[in-house]
Chains A and B, each alone.
Chain A
């Protein structure tokens, strides 16, 4: 124990610190999961190119079901690219190409018989900048249902309530659902976006630095939310904040220059990384 603390003093302190401050969080992490699919999302020999530039190199990894996986790494390492490829959001960009495959429950996301829209319906996404639609709070939540052609009032009302409750926003906005989403504060907007992402009951939730524009209190609320949500969703979160990765995730992947350097349980990555690069990064020596 002593030696380890000597090796990674910054990090071990922060993790312990977190676990002391949030005992209930630590307990949740420790609880053994029910049976789950460890290969919910599989990335196989996956390479990705923007035009001639290769940004991901032969990645091989699997994201377990109903767990939180954090992707960390310095800017430009490809973690956001990887995240955005899981729901094929990068399709919007011209001149992209890939090699290898990404499988969700064994089915390739590049299957020509799979419609990209039906893929995205299974995957919710939360963005770095909160992006509520210029509509009412209510309409923001039910958007994914409306575009799927589900317009029954009772179903929509129920979805709004359950989603907002799941996003811990219900008590704050239940009396002003018809107000514009822009009347909310920054943290509330981001929780609204999370509520919107889970409104259609997806299996997977992708989060691209969801707290980077928020203050510590709002960040704390969203981290608590992530803990609650992982009972039902497979969550992949990209973050630049080491403490956050340590606090919220079960597994952590460290990417550097488009390569997967190390991928293991969060505790191991932060306490006893096997790669010197990982250790250097998580202890703040570079990146």
Chain B
């Protein structure tokens, strides 16, 4: 080669663009594409969670009650008057079709907006929410003496108190100094009395009712027999005698409950609503009351947490739109738990056979593909299968074999928490199988060979080494299965979920765990509140709050499983492989 060609080569330098800025490596634009995908996903998740959390938690914050005055010459009126009172819940642009030409032309944009008020007093006004033209509002004030009261019926009431009367004619006026202490005392009394009534009715009378129902079924069974032997007659007589005993037991309890109920009506609260109308209600209808416009931030915080507690621990009232959601939370927990108990051994055993024992070949491969596809079957199909197989076939057979006296009233032959859990277990078993198989495959060959070389059998190897080592992976599968199962609604509607269940699936009555009972579920509760309740506007905040609770329940279940998994992972950490 000639030396001419060997010119001194330029020293390699980092490439620079024209403006002397460092140049990014070519091709790395796709970093932005992938990052954008993640960003969009994150944004959607955070937006959804934020929306639910904001609306769900906001429900419990005690908000001030406003007295709103309308223009004398404006078109807006409330019950014929120019004043109304309520919690301002929303302000939004009005639908153009609802605007009058005058409002359309108005220079003030407020004329084309409207405010939503929570009025309460559904018994007095016929509606709990109303919209008013924002432009017609001339004054908003927050009087200190407004009471917001939670009642057993008709939702909350917003009013100015007037006086308390008792059946003997004694009167405590609002102007008396001890009016508030008196009202507080009375409400405390009625709440404790209500607890007593509920204890009597729910537990003691409930227990008698359940026994009575069983006896009635037995009585009917004997009555329907074509010919009764002497033994049957004796049994029938015994049943009737026990029914009479129960009746005798029931009567004093019912009397006691009636007595307490009468006491609840002894005092009457007279109050005035914003239209000037005076109304009255028994103090016994009150659940709680407070003066929202007098509360400090601390006081509001206290009420906020009290509301949350009531919501989480209370039983629903008024077609689920008021009160708490405890039975739904409990039902969701119990169902998910039973589902996990059912799905774990089943899925793990199937995966062990598939991975450890089955001869790998086209058959096993197609079984694996079938399992994966099972995970993609619509959940309603599982619901229908559960209804046909578990409820009608298995449940019907159980009824015929073990509960013939109850027929035709089904015991297990109708939807219940057991069948719902098993249906979901069936639906989530592919998730567990796939995760378990992967976890088993990840256990190192060295450990298996070491164990076999020690003279262990294959099963001993699986039992002592492979399963413990793959436990974290198996639990990951369970986490996924629970997340899917706990949030599922569609199949449950066919196999045992109800909008309002009279009893919890686990309670203090023998045999304590009632797998045949129908149950409430948060997911179905959301559906019921949002789409089946008479006043969807009133139910909206409850929908958000219930959704938030459902998400929290799923998170709690998952975190528990994840914590167990991390604990196991630390225990079986295989550092050198």
Taking Cβ atoms with an 8 Å cutoff, the residues of A that contact B are 87, 89, 92, 94, 117-118, 120-121, 123-125, 127, 129-134, 143-144, 146-148, 180, 182, 186, 189, 193, 196-197, 199-200
Contacts and interface: CB of A to CB of B under 8 A. Distances in A.
A133 B455 contact: no
Interface of B: 359-360, 444, 446-457, 460, 464-465, 468-469, 571-576
B460 A147 contact: yes
B465 A133 contact: yes
A143 B576 contact: no
25 contacts: A89-B449, A92-B448, A94-B359, A117-B457, A120-B452, A120-B453, A120-B455, A123-B453, A127-B446, A127-B449, A127-B453, A131-B444, A131-B449, A133-B450, A133-B451, A134-B468, A134-B469, A143-B464, A144-B455, A146-B464, A147-B455, A147-B456, A147-B464, A182-B573, A193-B450
A133 B449 contact: no
A134 B455 contact: no
A261 B60 CA distance: 87
Nearest to B359: A94
A182 B454 contact: no
B455 A121 contact: yes
B453 A87 contact: yes
Nearest to B444: A131
Given A127-B446, A147-B460, A117 B455 contact: yes
Nearest to A200: B455
Contacts of A130: 576
A147 B457 contact: yes
Residue with the highest number of chain A CB atoms closer than 10 Å, among B444, B446, B460, B468: B446
A131 B446 contact: yes
A134 B454 contact: no
Contact of B572 (A118, A121, A134, A196): A134
A186 B575 CA distance: 11
Given A94-B359, A131-B444, A134-B465, A120 B454 contact: yes
A123 B575 CA distance: 27
Contacts of B451: 133, 143, 147
Contacts of B574: 134, 182
B359 A125 contact: no
A151 to B, nearest CB: 13
Given A134-B573, A134-B574, A147 B454 contact: yes
Nearest to A124: B453
Contact of A182 (B453, B455, B464, B576): B576
Contact of B446 (A123, A129, A180, A186): A129
Nearest to A131: B446
Contacts of B444: 131
- Which of A89, A134, A193, A196 has the largest count of B CB atoms less than 10 A from its CB? A134
Contacts of A189: 576
Q: Tell which of B447, B448, B452 has the most Cβ of chain A within 10 Å.
A: B452
Given A131-B446, A189-B576, A89 B455 contact: no
Contacts of A125: 449-450, 453
A220 B576 CA distance: 22
A133 B453 CA distance: 12
Contacts of A133: 447, 450-451, 464-465
Contacts of B449: 89, 92, 125, 127, 131
Nearest to B443: A134
Nearest to B465: A133
A92 B452 contact: yes
A214 B572 CA distance: 24
A222 B360 CA distance: 39
A10 B571 CA distance: 49
A146 B460 CA distance: 10
A143 B447 CA distance: 12
Contacts of B573: 134, 180, 182
A284 B106 CA distance: 103
Contacts of A147: 451, 454-457, 460, 464
A277 B465 CA distance: 44
Nearest to A120: B455
Nearest to A88: B452
A92 B461 CA distance: 13
Nearest to B450: A131
Given A134-B465, A182-B575, A186-B576, A144 B456 contact: yes
Given A133-B447, A134-B574, A182-B576, A94 B360 contact: yes
Given A134-B469, A147-B460, A89 B452 contact: yes
Contacts of A94: 359-360
A123 B455 CA distance: 9
Contacts of B469: 134
A89 B454 CA distance: 11
A134 B451 CA distance: 11
A147 B464 CA distance: 9
B455 A127 contact: no
Contacts of B465: 133-134
Which among A94, A130, A180, A197 has the greatest number of chain B C-beta atoms within 10 A?
A: A180
A200 B454 contact: yes
Nearest to A139: B464
A130 B359 CA distance: 28
A102 B239 CA distance: 78
Given A134-B468, A147-B460, A182-B575, A127 B454 contact: no
A189 B469 CA distance: 18
Contacts of A193: 450
A143 B454 contact: yes
A130 B575 CA distance: 12
A90 to B, nearest CB: 10
Given A147-B455, A182-B573, 10 more contacts: A89-B452, A117-B455, A118-B455, A131-B447, A131-B450, A133-B451, A133-B464, A134-B469, A134-B574, A147-B460
Select the residue from A124, A133, A197, A199 with max chain B CB neighbours within 10 A. Answer: A133
A143 B456 CA distance: 9
A120 B449 CA distance: 11
A146 B455 CA distance: 10
